Amino acid sequence: MWGLMIMAIAVIRFPGTNNENDVMRALGTIPGAEAQLVPSRLGSAALKEADGVIIPGGFSYGDYIRAGAVAAAGEIMEGVKELANDGRPVLGICNGFQILTECGLLPGALLPNTSARFVCRWVYLRVSEQTTAFTEGLEDAVLKMPVAHADGNYYCTENDLTVLNLHGLVPLRYSDENGETVPAVNPNGSIDNIAAVINEAGNVMGMMPHPERASRPSLGSADGLAILENFVRSTKC
Amino acid sequence: MLTHEEIEHATKVLGRRPNDTELAMLDVLWSEHCSYKSSKRWFHLFKTDGENVYLGIGEGAGLVDIGDGILVGVAMESHNHPSQVDPYNGAATGVGGIIRDVISQGCRAVGLMNCLRFGHPSKPKNAYLLERVVRGISDYGNSVGIPMVGGEIEFDDSYEGNCLVNVVCIGVVRPDKVVRSSARTPGHHLVIFGSTTGRDGIAGVSFASETFSDDEEEDRSAIQIGDPLAKKVVVDTLAQLVEEDLVDGLQDLGGGGLTSCAGELAASGGTGVEIDVAKVPLRERDMTPREIIVSESQERMLAVVAPEKLERVLEILIENDTPHAVIGSVTDDGYFTVKENGDIEARLPISLLVGGFPVPERTEGSLPVQPHTMDWYEEPDDYVEEILRLLGSVNIASREWVYSQYDQHVQSNTIVDIGENAGVLEFPLNKRLAFASHCNSFWTLLDPQQGTANSAAETLRNLVAMGARPILIADCLNFGNPERPDSYAQFVEAVRGLGRFSHDFDIPIVGGNVSLYNESEVEGKVRRINPTPQVMMAGIFEAGFAPVRRTLCTPWANVFLIGETLDELNGSEYQRLKLGRVQGFPPAYRPVAEKNAMEAVLNAHRARLIRSCNNVGRGGLAVALMKMVIGSDYGFRLNTTTVPGKAGTLGRALFSETSARYLAEVSESNQKQFLEIMARHNVPVCELALTVADHIADFGEFRVPVDRAEEEFRTSLSRYLE
């Protein structure tokens, strides 16, 4: 493989992104994953060879206006949209999820947490029974991962919600240890305990929890690795 | 403000009266904050060296070798005054400043801690300060992407009017990437980068070196404003500069701005500096040379760059889109020369500017001798209520409301979250370090020397309980006005206490900071903070060791109490809740017992004999036991109330805060080996309790309802903040 500069997975770094190295490190433990950091200033041209894109968490452009809003207007997002339209997998984590809703690749919006405070804690997630490219093999499972965000309160219109539920486009919901999606365990007030949303084509997913922070047992859980492994596999299809 | 003597001294040395710009420069560098003019003379009492100390006190961060070519860096600092006036920005820039200290040494910043003190949160102003400080730290630290690994919060009326915000940053670096804070070579360029310069934080250090008065609110122009996005860019840019070995010296612009930064670079390099303020990128119009040279605008760094490397440095700075400029050069004349478009605005000898102040006389007053009597003590009628009250004390209750606002997992190295005895991070090559910080300001109030040494001992126990061996200390010494003899005596006694501890345990002090003048003057009355020598300690685990937590993890195991329990309730949380104040001689610092207990517990950990372990600290045995049940699936049943030592009654045994004690959960099969280790180290031990499959807290004579205990523990702080 040496010398071949084929970029498989592009991990995008906006100014203020701060989870890019964590994602790279987690991908590095997955056999066959070839990932490269792409600074957003390189623009959409830098994504031409990519088989898939991850937009990691952080505070792009400081999130001084509205979480993800400035990044979503960046030129590099044109390249992300093109890849998405070609059916390539796109995963937005935390701030990446916010950017994907801001740029219209995913429905809905991420509002400030109902507590009006940043929240960092471990959560349990109930995986939906419908298979998606990102959750294959995890159907109905309960996963443990951390969340860390100020704006993770997923909101969408009644119409959108009906479509999401009808078409099985909610791969992850906040739940208790036993997989019950009760309101009490919702860390941010999201509608229907939604933690992740996928598009109708099934290749663009946004999630608030951090799979890369649950990628080694010593960190408290390795459950997130399965999602990243699925992502890697889908870049090879 | 410069004193009359100081101005006279400068005039004599210069042979002329300093001009306004020079006076401003001397004012900031001779402030207590920058010069340590009242405190430095006592630092010889600290143990500062050690075979693993790579870089000791004196620069941005202390560096300690943890083996295999990995250095851990720590820096600790206060940001008290700014946080009292503008809690959000004050606390945020405190975090920003401490990160700069660590990265300017070439380190990657991998962890943060913060230690806070406020008045009681039942008063809205105090709750407001806490809320805003936490939000400032959270918004800033979370954005920059450095995990929070620990800290402490304590409440006392003495902090009303002068809250404390102490921050720690932890870093990691390899020896060949260490950057020193010195300008050694004349002819090298001085390159400022990271952010522009404005009027925020003008002479902030002088402001921090005076007592608060009623018109404190007018001091807002002395507060800096943080910009975490710019800081993130600085962090990334600097990592690149360090990686390519492009900087010969580096210092951040913190307290004292360019004056302090360039002055210290020259002082430690034995050189001089020349800066043209017209070249400094500004964010405001019409700034005078004086304002530019002392501004404390955030997110700025000053790099010393060799001529042949300048082109590449500028290339990287442009690529990263960060404000920057070549503002001057290193000289060989030993002067700090400030020019504006070539005209000299100020010219001071470095030897005068940095450390050339006339050493002020300080008087160490005498402190009251505290009696050992406990005649205030009455055996409680209802132990259950007393235990619940302790768990609900704002100085004991869960801090989850606070730390859940901090990102603890970014960088994917966090092995143990906040809420345990210590936070644990993974370093390169699977090395794991635990971090804890502690100060019991009620003990230090009653006896600064004993209280400080014992606060350090408690910090040590937090590490040891998890299985980590302490390797370094950093401190932040927060005290009142050093010009008052009794206040100065508190400071000197505390330094003696910490010095004593560092020698007794052979743990080097590698970083720290002194913050004096922590007093507020309200309606003509001076209110001084409790002496607060905040001690931070790091410990290392043996390879492959999984940190031991404090929640009970098996039924049918024994819970052993390690160490003697003495009649030491003066200065305890129990006394404070009973009397509304503390009095008498606080729990004694007992280095021999402490060291024996430490070695015994570490040996038992090494043999993997302990399932869960807790340090006995604030609130005594009762609280330590309850904390092992809260959050566990299991419970305990007390075997005996006859504990080793001299505690006269059940209540005294339960609430005494004697040091050198631990609780350890040991399964039946490991018991023999465990007891052998304890005996070998001469550590008294008793089989205090048995763990049971039910979630209960059975003290024999009485039972504490665990659901009520959990409720008290979880909600007693947050109820003031919702």
The answer to whether A71 touches A96, Cβ cutoff 8 Å, is no
The pLDDT assigned to B221 comes to: 61
Is B51 an 8 Å CB contact of chain A?
A: no
pLDDT tens string B451-464: 999 999 999 999 99
Main-chain phi, psi angles of A98, to 5 degrees: -60, -40
**Using CB atoms, which residue from B228, B406, B415 is nearest to A62?**
B228
- Decide if B1-30+179-358 and B33-176+432-448+463-483+491-543 have a common fold: no
Looking up tokens 């002082």 gives B267
- Of A57-71, B320-334, B561-575, the range with the lowest mean pLDDT is A57-71
Residue A58 identity: G
Q: How many helices (H) and strands (E) does chain B have?
A: 23, 28
d(C-alpha B173, C-alpha B103), whole Å: 9
The pLDDT assigned to B229 comes to: 86
**Using CB atoms, which residue from B144, B227, B404 is nearest to A120?**
B404
**Using CB atoms, which residue from B142, B227, B414 is nearest to A118?**
B142
Q: What is the three-class DSSP state of B447?
A: coil
Q: Is 3.50.50.60 the CATH number for B33-176+432-448+463-483+491-543?
A: no
Which of the residues B33, B189, B605, B681 is marked catalytic?
B33
The pLDDT assigned to A200 comes to: 96
Residue B670 identity: N
Give the closest-approach CA distance of A218 to chain B in angstroms: 6
The answer to whether B2 touches B26, Cβ cutoff 8 Å, is yes
Tell me the pLDDT band of A7, cut-offs 50, 70 and 90. Answer: low
- CB contacts, 8 Å: A19 with chain B: 145, 410
**All domains of chain A, ordered by start, with CATH?**
2-234 (3.40.50.880)
d(C-alpha B439, C-alpha B79), whole Å: 17
Residue A145 identity: M
Mutate: best of B131, B172, B409, partner A, most A CBs <10 A: B409
Average pLDDT, chain A: 94
Residues 6+ apart with CB under 8 A from B442: B156, B451, B530, B571, B573, B576, B582, B586
- CB contacts, 8 Å: B407 with chain A: 118, 120, 148
**Using CB atoms, which residue from B143, B403, B409 is nearest to A62?**
B143
Q: Is the pLDDT of residue B320 over 50?
A: yes
The pLDDT assigned to B204 comes to: 66
d(C-alpha B683, C-alpha B675), whole Å: 9
CATH of domain B1-30+179-358: 3.90.650.10
The pLDDT assigned to B524 comes to: 82
- CB contacts, 8 Å: A25 with chain B: 412
Q: Do B410 and A148 touch (CB under 8 A)?
A: yes
Percent share of chain B, pLDDT over 90: 89
The answer to whether B144 touches B93, Cβ cutoff 8 Å, is no
The pLDDT assigned to B222 comes to: 63
With CA atoms as reference, the chain B residue closest to A113 would be B405
Q: Do B412 and A219 touch (CB under 8 A)?
A: yes
Catalytic residues of A: 94, 210, 212
The pLDDT assigned to B271 comes to: 97
Residues 6+ apart with CB under 8 A from B434: B416, B422, B423, B424, B462, B463, B466, B468, B538, B539, B540, B541, B547
The pLDDT assigned to A4 comes to: 38
pLDDT tens string B112-159: 999 999 999 999 999 999 999 999 999 999 999 999 999 999 999 999
The answer to whether B264 touches B354, Cβ cutoff 8 Å, is yes
The pLDDT assigned to A1 comes to: 32
pLDDT tens string A17-76: 999 999 999 999 999 899 999 999 999 999 998 999 999 999 999 888 889 999 999 999
Q: Is the pLDDT of residue B223 over 90?
A: no
Q: Which ipTM did the prediction report?
A: 0.95
B 389-448 residues inside an 8 A Cβ radius of A: 403-412, 414-415, 417, 426
Is B687 an 8 Å CB contact of chain A?
A: no
Average pLDDT, chain B: 94
Closest CA to A204 of A67, A54, A45, A30: A54
- Over residues A200-216, the mean pLDDT reads 97
The pLDDT assigned to A2 comes to: 36
Residue B539 identity: G
- Kindly compute the dihedral angle of the four CA atoms of residues B449, B454, B455, B458, in this order, to the nearest 10 degrees: 170
The answer to whether A101 touches A62, Cβ cutoff 8 Å, is no
Tell me the pLDDT band of A6, cut-offs 50, 70 and 90. Answer: low
CA A107 to chain centre: 14
| Angle formed by the axes of helices B228-243 and B310-319, nearest 10° | 140
Sequence spans of domains, chain B: 1-30+179-358, 33-176+432-448+463-483+491-543, 370-412+548-722
**DSSP element (H, E) containing B270:** none
Mode of pairing for the β-strands spanning B469-478 and B509-515 = parallel
Q: Is 3.90.190.10 the CATH number for B370-412+548-722?
A: no
